[in-house]
Structure 1
Amino acid sequence: MGSSAACGGFRSLTGSSASENRHTEKDGLSRSKRNDRQGIEDAMKLVTRNVLIGTGVAAATASLLCGAGEIMFRFTIDTQFPWSMMKLVRAGKVKGADLEGPHRDAGEEAEAARWFDESKQPVVTFSEDELRLHGWLLDPDCVSPQPHLYAICMHGYTGTPAEMAKYAHRFARLGFTVLAPAMRGHELSEGRYTGMGWLERRDLMAWIRLIVDSDPDARILLDGLSMGAACVMMTVGEPDLPRNVVAAIEDCGYTSVWDQFLFNAKGLYRLPNKWLAMPVVKAMSAACRRTAGYGFEEASSVASLRHATIPMLFIHGAADAFVDPSFLDRNYQACASLHRDRLLIAGAGHAMSASTAPDVYWRKVTGFVRGAFGL
């Protein structure tokens, strides 16, 4: 009986266990499915959280970059921004790059400055976007000047026409009537946003038309320094450039506004070149396109030079820390003109080539001008 009971008990236990096992298996499967679903839900929550965090970080980063780009755009391009480079230069809080380094032509600079102040006559034209542009006209400074010769001297970023005095005087002594315009937003010219040469190329075309309208036989030399040099290079490839423009000289100009700001990212803006400079410059360009109507990449000297046909002289200082000296060769190689020349001045900083080696500089420039104009 004990055995039977034991067996019965065993059978009962065995039968109950099997039944319970089936339920247990079902419950286990249900729990497993629930656990799987929970795991999937947890995983999805984790992924969603990480995506949201990543999106938030990306959004915050994008927001910071946009903000930085906007501020740098205002600082660099907007002449009416309270802390713009233009206002800092005018207030004497920032020293222009052309004031640094040796001035071996200090005597000539002083004489040219006096001549400029005593000889300048005001002249006005209007840009295609109806800004009033102001400039200074200077008569030839020689005994028997040839007729119909004109030189247009374009100053640099945050500069004034007077900074071109020694260049203007040299050309005036060769018999040229010289026009020294103020870039838009500079000195007496209207305009809020600096075009870094790109908007100014059309302003330069307006000045050229002013000369040609008054003298259809005019033969014109274009000369530019720094941003003025970029303006000259961006102008020579314009499809409507009059045949009256005979030759051009650029001194320390950049390949494009994009390249220039990337180069300046480390020195001027203190940005690490590799990981931050490009996004910030891209954001600056986007802000500039929205507000000033142009992007940095389209503002290209190289692209314009591919369409150049007039004689061109390219000059740069080998010690230029503001505009990359390597831009000299890139601009020179891009130039489609059959008559082109270049000059690299050893030891010269930005806009300092004429002051560092005046004899070498003016020998090359004078020879180029005489050859191009048959003087």
Structure 2
Amino acid sequence: MRRKWLVYSAFILALLSFIILGSSLYMLNYSLCPGNRGKDEPSSYKYMYENYTFMRPWVDSLNRAKAIKDTFIYNKSGIHLHAYYIAAPHPTKKTAVIVHGYTDNAIRMMHIGYLYNHDLQYNVLLPDLQYHGRSEGESIQMGWKDRLDVMDWIKVTHQLYGDSTQIVIHGISMGAATTMMLSGEQQPPYVKCFIEDCGYTSVWDEFSGEIKNQFGLPPFPLLNVASYLCELKYGWNFKEASAINQVKKCQLPMLFIHGKSDTYVPTSMVYSLFKAKPTPKELWIVPEAKHALSYKINPKKYTNRVREFVEKYL
């Protein structure tokens, strides 16, 4: 009888382990290898023109002047990466590197490109992160490995615009997490400040909320196993991919922006991030704004807040 019970228990344990492993693998692929709207450039332009009506005449004028240019690099892992760059209307040392969000691409950040290039008269560079746009990559990196790629793009920007270049890094959503993760690394002297808009505290925290909200499940054990599988397959885990740990090391100025009605990346996260960041720092909570929509609901005020911040440092 006892032998039968042991065999039955082992069978149940093996079945549960198989289910947990399979579910965790599904979650990893669902999160990091989704069908990616960011690979569809025509639909990205269509979305931008519908939601930001000023975009089409600006982009058309740039295209007529052949002012939107492509550039490519290989990162240290040999992955081929793409970015667009646009020179300022008049020579300037001021440059913005603009980082897009999850399943977005450089085109879907052109409204922030407009802010800097059209309104503030900056040079801009807009990279496609791994597995987005025209960049290669086998999966989304959630900002963690992307931070190293953006460091490479910063060097390219410096080469493009000269020794006197002064740079602000501006990211939204996953791009904001990338910006914060990057901020904890040692910066070249021409990087002057950062702007993060609705970034998460860590990949672990963001996925914990999503697994609860989307599937009604606790993080343990699926998230733990998925994080372990991520480390085996991609070389990083959900807990080490921490924006909050990186901003603790950041000594350069940072502007934190977050919509008060953001539920995708809960607004509560920005308060923890802001508290962790040493001075200088500023915080702007945007009333009524949902996730990544702070610029859309009030572009003039958003532009002015960005202008006021960057003018202190560039």
Q: TM-score, normalised by structure 2?
A: 0.89
- Distance of aligned partners of 1:184 and 1:314 in 2 relative to their CA distance in 1, 3 Å threshold: same
Distance across 2 between alignment mates of 1:220 and 1:364: 17
In structure 2, give the amino acid aligned to 1:327. Answer: M
Q: Deviations over 1:256-286 (max 9, x none)?
A: 111111111133xx32243xx3322222212
Superimposed CA distance per residue, residues 36-79 of structure 1 (whole angstroms, 9 cap, x where no aligned partner) = xxxxxxxxx44x5545444433332222111111112112213x
| Cα pair 1:196 1:257 within 8 Å, conserved | yes
Is the CA contact 1:113–1:162 (under 8 Å) kept in the aligned structure 2?
no
Counterpart code for 1:85:
G
Give the aligned partner of residue 224 of structure 1: 171
2:263 maps to amino acid: A
Aligned to 2:288: 347
Deviation (angstroms), 1:117: 5.0
- Structure 2 distance, partners of 1:278, 1:181, is 35
Give, in whole Å, the separation in 2 of the partners of 1:223 and 1:232: 7
Q: Matched residues in 2 for 1:320 and 1:111: separation?
A: 31
Q: Hey, what does 1:66 align to over in structure 2?
A: 21
AA at the equivalent of 2:28: F
* Alpha carbons of structure 1 residues 132 and 346: separation in structure 2 relative to 1, 3 Å: same
Bigger Rg, which one: 1
Q: Paired residue for 1:9?
A: none
Calculate the aligned-residue CA RMSD, in Å. 2.5
Unaligned runs of 5+ in 2: none
**Paired position in structure 2 for 1:123:** 71
2-side partners of 1:117 and 1:135: how far apart?
16
**In structure 1, which of residues 247, 252, 260 is the aligned counterpart of residue 198 of structure 2?**
252
SS in 1 for 2:244: helix
1:229-251 CA-partner distances (Å, limit 9, x unpaired)? 11111001113x21211011011
Shift of residue 296, structure 1, vs aligned partner: 0.6
Q: Is the 8 A contact 1:212 1:218 kept in 2?
A: yes
- Counterparts of 2:10 and 2:297 in 1: how far apart (Å)? 53
Q: In the alignment, is the contact (CA less than 8 A) between 2:172 and 2:196 conserved in 1?
A: yes
| Residue 366 (str. 1) matches residue 307 (str. 2) | yes
**Residues 317 and 189 of structure 1: CA distance in aligned 2, closer, same or farther (over 3 Å):** same
> In structure 1, how many angstroms separate the alpha carbons of the residues matched to 2:11 and 2:210?
30
Is 1:156 the counterpart of 2:101? The answer is yes
Residue 233 of structure 2 aligns to which amino acid in structure 1?
T
Distance across 2 between alignment mates of 1:116 and 1:326: 39
2:122 corresponds, among 151, 163, 176, to 176
In the superposition, relative to structure 1, how do residues 61 and 184 fare at CA in structure 2: closer, same or farther (>3 Å)?
Answer: same
- Percent identity over the alignment is 27
**Offset, 1:219:** 0.8
Q: Deviations over 1:137-165 (max 9, x none)?
A: 10113xx443x221101111111101111
Q: How does 1:230-269 map to 2 (within 5 A)?
A: 230-239=177-186, 241-267=187-213
**CA 1:85–1:278 in 2, change beyond 3 Å: closer, same or farther?**
farther
CA distance in structure 1 between the aligned counterparts of 2:270 and 2:261, rounded to whole angstroms = 12
Structure 1 residues 168 and 89, CA gap change in structure 2 (3 angstroms): closer
CA separation of 1:319/1:132 partners in 2, compared to 1, >3 Å: closer, same or farther? same
Quick one: which of 215, 219, 236 aligns to 1:294? 236
SS of residue matched to 2:82: strand
1:133–1:183 contact (8 Å) kept in structure 2? yes
Please tell me the residue identity of whatever aligns with 1:279: P
Native 8 Å contact 2:38 2:105 kept in 1: no
Contact preservation (8 Å) 1:112, 1:166: no
The alpha-carbon distance between structure 1 residues 363 and 121, as it changes in their structure 2 partners (threshold 3 A), is same
5 Å matches for 1:263-278? 263-267=209-213, 270-274=214-218, 277-278=219-220
Return the letter of the residue paired with 2:235. G
Structure 1 residue identity aligned to 2:293: M
AA at the equivalent of 1:165: M
Partner residue, 1:318: 260
Q: Which residue is 1:75 aligned to?
A: 30
Could you say what secondary structure the match of 2:24 adopts?
A: helix
| Structure 2 counterpart SS, 1:308 | coil
CA offsets, 1:292-341, max 9 Å, x none? 111011001011101101110111112222211111111111112x2111
The structure-2 alpha-carbon separation of the partners of 1:311 and 1:89, relative to structure 1 and needing over 3 Å to count, comes to closer
2-structure distance, mates of 1:353, 1:116: 25
- Which has more helix, going by share of residues? 1
Q: State TM-score, norm by structure 1.
A: 0.75
Residues 113 and 261 of structure 1, relative CA distance in 2, 3 Å threshold: farther
Cα distance change of structure 1 residues 112 and 125 upon mapping to structure 2, 3 Å threshold = same
1:68/1:217 CA distance change after superposition, 3 Å: same
